[in-house]
Copies of this chain bind each other. A is one copy, B any other.
Amino acid sequence: MDILRGERLSGPAPESAEFTGSVADDAPLIAPVVKINMAHMLMLEKNGYVKTSDAAACLKALKAIPKKFKMDANLEDVHMNIEAFVIDRAGGDAGGQLNLGKSRNDQVATAIRMVARDKILEIAKAMEEVSRVLITLGKKHANWVMPGYTHLQHAQPVTLGHHLLAHNDALQRNTKRLLQCYERVNACPMGAAALGSVVLTIDRDYVCNMLGFESLVENTIDAVSSRDFALETMSVLALAMADLSKLAEEIILWSSSEFSFAEVADEYASTSSIMPQKKNPVVAEMIRSRAAMAFGDLMAGLSLVKALPLSYNLDLQDLTPRLWDSCNNTLASLELMGKMLATMKFNKERLESSVETAVGAADLASYIAVKKGIPFRTAHRVVGALAKKSADSKEEFSKIVAKHLREASKRIAKKEVSLTKEEINALLIPSSNVNRKVAKGSPSPREIQKMIHARQEELSEMTSIVAKKKSALAKAETSLMLAVGKLEGGEK
């Protein structure tokens, strides 16, 4: 008989049951719902609401639920499937107590948070792995000169290491966001029941601790109706995917025959047997498109919760698959990005030869301003005139400077200025140029090494935070299973 509808006669139309049921999406919730039922039952027994033997029977039945638990769609969702299983195994007297003092509303919110926190830690780990790769690559290519772009035009010389570390810094900020978000995800709604708690003296803190949560979602209406933890997770992931899409875009550009800056390993490209020189950077394309998917998931989620009155509304059920979608896409994108980056080859010769001396023009202007006492804006104009001459004549900019600086400065700045060949080279030969950059964070190999050191320290710290959180969850699970074992085994 239908556990919930009980004595009511008419059941749902099959298409209605299918449309509103969640069994199809509930698989990830099985394990957490089992644990919640265990922790809750331990608490009921501890507080004297359920006989020890009944509790033991329930716990035994709960332990017997297989990992690949087959759910019956007629029982609506994971909650009713598990209750039905326990009643079947442990009998109605014991199993009938399973839902005393709780409801599907608090249980589902708790279970989603349990899955989400695991996924967040997995993603944070994957982020750290990509950071590790980027830092390693940054170190290796700290002095590989390449064009620095604005508007996809060559603007100043930088190094490949410097460029890759810019991506790393964005990534590390995302990791921090995710770990701050974790605090709000890892809070326990259990005890809220439908929305107004129950008339029993339940111990919310006990259940909270047994399930590894760091805090309660205290207000019981808030506990069942808030999904901001999911939306925040999705928005952090959207930001992370946006940043990842930028790196993916560059890998696609750099793999083109026009750029030829880098080559993706065969394992992370699709190749063509008929055009083997063609390597389609399909993994990078997919990461790029997954960013759009993450944006769509977030928009779906925000629009879904907009203007919903309190407390629980079934709309919220649709949010969960979007959350998993965002998590899974981000995790896969990070893992693939890490592996693709680690196996990519960069073309040093091509990168270096792409940097024309003209991209040092702005630095030349600064130098002249400072060394020769010409106002910067005027020096800028002098150098501009030389650059124009170079562009018009197609003669190398550095040569034009050597030849015409004196005349141009006289004409424009009313002051004759000249530079030695050494000075010109120091500014315009790309590798010398980047070496002259002494400001914090600049593309000089020395600054890059300093940044790498700091990033590595930060990475260690974050790695240790994730490890601690993982270990706290594992410890809670051990405690829970120990308590279950004790009670079930009659030790208590």
Contact = CB atoms under 8 A, between A and B. Distances in A.
Given A296-B301, A296-B303, A385-B7, A232 B228 contact: no
A155 to B, nearest CB: 5
A8 interface: yes
Contacts of A236: 235
A318 interface: yes
Contact of A441 (B192, B302, B367): B192
Contact of A366 (B155, B199, B315, B367): B199
Contact of A197 (B202, B336, B441): B441
B332 A19 contact: yes
Interface residues on A, range: 35 or more
Given A196-B434, A201-B439, A440-B218, A149 B309 contact: yes
12 contacts: A11-B267, A16-B268, A92-B375, A148-B221, A152-B255, A154-B257, A155-B275, A193-B362, A199-B427, A228-B239, A258-B259, A292-B302
A198 B380 CA distance: 14
A68 interface: no
A282 B151 contact: yes
Contacts of A335: 15
Interface string A236-253: 101100110110111011
A387 B318 contact: no
A148 B6 contact: no
Which secondary structure dominates chain A's binding surface? helix
A280 interface: yes
B314 A200 contact: no
A388 B216 contact: no
Contact of A377 (B87, B277, B354): B87
Contacts of A231: 239, 242
B443 A309 contact: no
Given A155-B195, A177-B232, A196-B443, A13 B268 contact: yes
A151 B251 CA distance: 12
